[in-house]
Amino acid sequence: MPKVKVDGVELEVPAGATVLQACELAGKEIPRFCYHERLSIAGNCRMCLVEVKPGPPKPQASCALPATEGQEIRTDSEMVKKAREGVMEFLLINHPLDCPICDQGGECDLQDQSVAYGRGGSRYHEHKRAVTEKYMGPLIKTQMTRCIHCTRCVRFSEEVAGVDEIGALYRGESMQITTYLERAAHHEMSANVIDLCPVGALTSRPYAFEARPWELKKTLGIDVSDATGANIRIDSRGREVLRALPRNNDDVNEEWISDKARYQVDGLVRRRLDKPFLRRDGKLVQVSWNDAFAAIATLNPGNSIAAVAGDMVDCETMFAAKALVGALGSTLIEGRQTGMDYDTSSLSAVNFNTTFNGIETADAILVVGSMVRWEAPSVNVRLRKAVKRGAKVFLIGPEWETTFGGEFIGEDLSLLGGLPQHVADALSGAKRPAVIVGGAALGRGGLEAALALSGQFNLVRELEDGSAWNGFNVLHMAASRMGGLMLGFAQKGGIADLVAAKPKVLISLGADEVDYAKFADSMIVYIGHHGDKAAHAADVILPASAYTEKAGTYVNTEGRVQFADKAVFAPGDAREDWTILRALADAFGVSVGFDSFDALRDAMIAAVPALGVEGLADYGSALPAGGGSASGAIAYPIKDFYMTNPIARASATMQRCSAELLHGEEFAEAAE
Amino acid sequence: MADRFIEPDTPELRARWGNFAWTEANAAKAKDILSRYPDGRQRSAVMPFLDLAQRQVGAELNTQGWLPIPVMEFIAAELAMPVIRVVEVASFYTMYNIAPIGRFHVQVCGTTPCMLRGSDDIIETCKSRGMKKGHTTADGMWSFTEVECMGNCASAPMVQINDDNFEDLTPERMNAVLDALARGESPKAGTQDPARHTVEPVGEPTNLAAMVSANHDYRSEW
């Protein structure tokens, strides 16, 4: 713990800290471009120069200099001021002064820092250099003349994403950042380089020229495109969501979000259900809310009613539906749309117990039936970090391109009953062993067989430092899954129980993946926001809100309870889901016990107290013994990363990504 | 140097170089190069590999050799590293040619010492033989570039042609070297001044003269 002096104030800094970190601890702002907390240190922008004694009598790059005992650091001396002015002047020599037409304007590090630390004028009268634009795919717009060669994007794709495709070609003044042969960046986290870019060289292509940052209303939200519950900031103007950006949360998504989480938002204004519809003579016709409820009131289902929850609904919606179905005397509620029927009596057996932070520290990991890269891109980043720390990863399932190496040991679930010797040795020899069970392995006895491994390898244990370790993990894909399971949206036989009960009325809460042919005799009331698969099968469509249009509680696959706020109003006649369910209760002539959102939330928290506390819900560490045998080849459920939910399917950006990045279609670039 | 760009990746380029592989002799050399690096550090061999590949391409084309994109991809596959990292290295160092080049690569030094000793005349000589900066002559014989200091200032002006330096040039001596090369001969590398062996003083020594015949302690004279 070296003691250093920053601008005359003495403080102790953690061992291994850099001078820049020491200055930050002292509350001093150090300007920087290339330095980023989550990337390796490059030290090439020179903006973080400070004066350090003892040392050579010249400014030092603080990001790359270790803090040592007795250092005297000055961030406010004349030398530092001049050094910063000089660096800024050099950076601006070749940077175009086109801020008025640059999309980064208003949130640009270079702009902000040149105002704060620059000298206010240039002495450079020669020609500036210009660099040709580089194609980086449908998500990243480039304007490489603006690039200041901080190499954050290069380091991100190499270190975090694990897909080496961006590099710096040529040298000196001719240096250019480009993807290999100007091919599109090809991974699920690619658009994070837009946030990393401190200037306007890499900007968002779908968001190009849409808005200035100061026009936008910023709302804190939770992403629903996968079950990781990434923390996002929803930027909206008027009634339209213009973009989603990641928020810092070290426990969940660190600083990254997947391309789908970022870019599916343009699907929120397309294919929307904004009017109630009734099926008359086989055709859906627009009606008013009154007519719709009048028609529903005549159904008179009694207790022959069931509800199925979609992948993106919030806990409040599910609780309201449960209350409605319960008030009518039915308990038929289910959230696992595709027919899975794994045992949910113990929630710790279907939870990501290790937590995302914990999985980074695991030293032997067995992934069963999960294409982690597509099912949970931010967990994939964590796995890569674990491997960098020396973890061994084994995977069961068809091979996919991992970004962290790992060994595929087979495709059949029966391997769970007889792991190859070297895998068993690695798991039993590990200090922090972990098993990750994906959606493709939950059925056919896979969960029970994996639970048996937990006993065999002692996955739940106390570590040497006395902390608890639970190495058993289930990686879900639906944002609503853990919340649904906490609310009891699971039947013993899965959705087959609902089919067998032949309900008169089936309430579908944005459930687009259900096989509705099996419910041919039921009246299907669809409460959802997109005219997708389920709307075609529905008899009544009640337009509801998407995740940006309602406040809600979400539980991610770790069992982490998180709250999201409402960013915009739903379009047209669409309403918030809970109000529709409340009105349905009136139509059916029953009482659900709440009249406001707050009352609904209170009732929900009274029923499931864990949903009221932000953070990890406690499911206990006891795991069922499991056992039995599993067999059958594993097939991953996601066939197209960009098309997994109705919002993404409606999004033009996601459609283009799917066509171009996954199906190899070529798009002519517009001449500019 | 500024006008140095990677040759575009075209179907013709792929067809010509797509199945590039080491010749038998070079495969042995490549194996030897790899063995110099410790396990897990094989990527370090990228520089000698690029040089080897460039020479093999040169031997095939009877030129100085260059590095088409498919060849860089071959090297990346050999070393199990991302192609972009190979391209970064090849595009950084100017001794890797990233565009087709002629039989002889004439690199004239134009930095101050050479310029003061008449490199402008050498450049003029090259131009009068039909060479153009940054281009290869139509017959594919001569590629001409102006470069910065090559460290032969004591025998300026100089050119580097392929792997050899030719120093103490005058337009006549330059013409003689180029003529000899054109005839297929290998002119003597190094200084072209008949009165000089290496970079010893021309004529009489003008300083440290007392050191010529015996060791002499100058300190008392300072």
CA–CA distance from A197 to each of A153, A493, B85 (Å)? 7, 50, 20
Amino acid at A324: L
Amino acid at A1: M
CB atoms within 10 A of CB A627: 12
Q: How far is B211 from chain A (nearest CA, A)?
A: 39
Assign A578 to helix, strand or coil. Answer: helix
d(CA B35, CA B51) in angstroms, rounded, equals: 17
H/E stretch holding A194: helix A192-196
Convert the pLDDT of each residue in A494-527 to its tens digit: 999 999 999 999 999 999 999 999 999 999 999 9
Write out the two tokens for A393. Answer: 């990863």
Assign A369 to helix, strand or coil. Answer: coil
Would you give the DSSP letter of residue A107?
Answer: S
Convert the pLDDT of each residue in A435-477 to its tens digit: 999 999 998 889 999 999 998 999 999 998 889 999 999 999 9
Assign B59 to helix, strand or coil. Answer: helix
3-state secondary structure A18-31: EHHHHHHHCCCCCC
CB atoms within 10 A of CB A252: 23
**pLDDT of the residue at A181:** 85
Write out the two tokens for A363. Answer: 């030293």
**pLDDT of the residue at B222:** 79
Tell me the DSSP string of A139-181: SEEE-GGG-----HHHHIIIIII----EEEES-GGG-EEEEGG
Q: Which stretches of chain A drop beneath a pLDDT of 50?
A: 671-672
Nearest chain B residue to A162, by CA: B82
Q: In chain A, what residues touch B92 (CB-CB under 8 Å)?
A: 169-171
Q: In chain B, what residues touch A164 (CB-CB under 8 Å)?
A: 82, 84-85
Nearest chain B residue to A163, by CA: B82
Nearest chain B residue to A181, by CA: B9
Residues 6 or more apart whose Cβ sits within 8 Å of residue A664 = none
d(CA A93, CA A149) in angstroms, rounded, equals: 13
* Count of residues making up chain B: 222
**pLDDT of the residue at A668:** 61
d(CA A426, CA A395) in angstroms, rounded, equals: 13
Say if the Cβ atoms of A171 and B87 lie within 8 Å: no
Say if the Cβ atoms of B84 and A165 lie within 8 Å: yes
| CA dihedral (A531, A533, A539, A544) positive or negative | negative
Q: How far is A170 from chain B (nearest CA, A)?
A: 5
Please name the residues between 158 and 177 in chain A that touch chain B, using a CB distance below 8 Å.
164-171, 173-174
Res B90 pLDDT > 80 = yes
Tell me the β-bridge partners of A560.
A616
Write out the two tokens for A348. Answer: 């710790």
Say if the Cβ atoms of B85 and A171 lie within 8 Å: no
Find the mean pLDDT for residues B13-27.
94
**pLDDT of the residue at A629:** 85
Say if the Cβ atoms of B82 and A166 lie within 8 Å: no
Amino acid at A420: P
- A170 vs B9, B83, B91: nearest CB: B91
| Alpha-carbon B219 to chain mean position | 42
CA–CA distance from A442 to each of A86, A245, A351, A460, A668 (Å)? 60, 32, 12, 20, 43
Q: To which residue do tokens 């929850």 refer?
A: A309
Please, are residues A14 and A22 in contact by the beta-carbon 8 Å criterion?
no
| Alpha-carbon A606 to chain mean position | 29
Half-sphere exposure of B37 (CA within 13 A, CB side): 16
Q: In chain A, what residues touch B87 (CB-CB under 8 Å)?
A: 167, 169, 180
Dihedral in degrees, nearest 10, Cα atoms A395, A396, A399, A405: 10
Would you give the DSSP letter of residue A104?
Answer: T
Q: How far is B183 from chain A (nearest CA, A)?
A: 35
Nearest chain A residue to B91, by CA: A170
H/E stretch holding B52: helix B46-61
Q: In chain A, what residues touch B86 (CB-CB under 8 Å)?
A: none
A113 CB within 8 Å of a chain B CB:
no
d(CA A457, CA A435) in angstroms, rounded, equals: 10
**pLDDT of the residue at A474:** 95
Say if the Cβ atoms of B84 and A166 lie within 8 Å: yes
Q: How far is B169 from chain A (nearest CA, A)?
A: 30
Q: How far is A163 from chain B (nearest CA, A)?
A: 9
**pLDDT of the residue at A102:** 94
| Alpha-carbon A108 to chain mean position | 24
Find the mean pLDDT for residues B149-177.
93
Largest pairwise CA distance in chain B: 73
d(CA A540, CA A524) in angstroms, rounded, equals: 6
Q: How far is A176 from chain B (nearest CA, A)?
A: 10
Q: In chain A, what residues touch B9 (CB-CB under 8 Å)?
A: 181
β-strands A364-368, A392-396 pairing? parallel
A628-A630-A632 Cα angle (round to 5): 165
d(CA A445, CA A667) in angstroms, rounded, equals: 45
Say if the Cβ atoms of A180 and B88 lie within 8 Å: no
Write out the two tokens for B203. Answer: 């004529």
Please, are residues A583 and A525 in contact by the beta-carbon 8 Å criterion?
no
Find the mean pLDDT for residues B154-171.
93
| Alpha-carbon A169 to chain mean position | 32
d(CA A650, CA B178) in angstroms, rounded, equals: 68
Q: How far is A631 from chain B (nearest CA, A)?
A: 36
Tell me phi and psi for residue A359, to 5 degrees. -65, -25
**pLDDT of the residue at A669:** 57
d(CA A437, CA A433) in angstroms, rounded, equals: 13
Say if the Cβ atoms of A180 and B84 lie within 8 Å: yes
Mutate to test the interface with B, among A181, A183, A187 (most CBs of B within 10 A): A181
Say if the Cβ atoms of A173 and B9 lie within 8 Å: no
H/E stretch holding B106: strand B104-109
Report the candidate in A585, A553, A358 with the shortest Cα–Cα distance to residue A472.
A358
Write out the two tokens for A23. Answer: 């200055």
Which region holds residue A589: left if phi is over 0, alpha if psi is between -120 and 50, else beta?
left
d(CA A54, CA B65) in angstroms, rounded, equals: 51
Please, are residues A221 and A233 in contact by the beta-carbon 8 Å criterion?
yes
Q: To which residue do tokens 């027919």 refer?
A: A339
Say if the Cβ atoms of A169 and B88 lie within 8 Å: yes
Say if the Cβ atoms of A167 and B92 lie within 8 Å: no
**pLDDT of the residue at A672:** 45
Q: In chain A, what residues touch B2 (CB-CB under 8 Å)?
A: 173-174
User: Strand (E) positions, A165-323?
Assistant: 166-169, 176-179, 202-204, 217-222, 231-237, 240-246, 277-280, 283-286, 305-309
Residues 6 or more apart whose Cβ sits within 8 Å of residue B162 = B64, B104, B105
Say if the Cβ atoms of A170 and B92 lie within 8 Å: yes
Please, are residues B97 and B63 in contact by the beta-carbon 8 Å criterion?
no
Write out the two tokens for B158. Answer: 């100089």
Q: In chain B, what residues touch A168 (CB-CB under 8 Å)?
A: 88
Amino acid at A524: I
d(CA A482, CA A485) in angstroms, rounded, equals: 5
Nearest chain A residue to B70, by CA: A181
Q: How far is B205 from chain A (nearest CA, A)?
A: 41
d(CA A294, CA A275) in angstroms, rounded, equals: 15
B61 by Cβ neighbours in 10 Å (0-12 / 13-18 / 19+) ranks as: middle
H/E stretch holding A495: helix A495-501
d(CA A574, CA A581) in angstroms, rounded, equals: 13
- A167 vs B1, B2, B88: nearest CB: B88
Q: In chain B, what residues touch A179 (CB-CB under 8 Å)?
A: 84
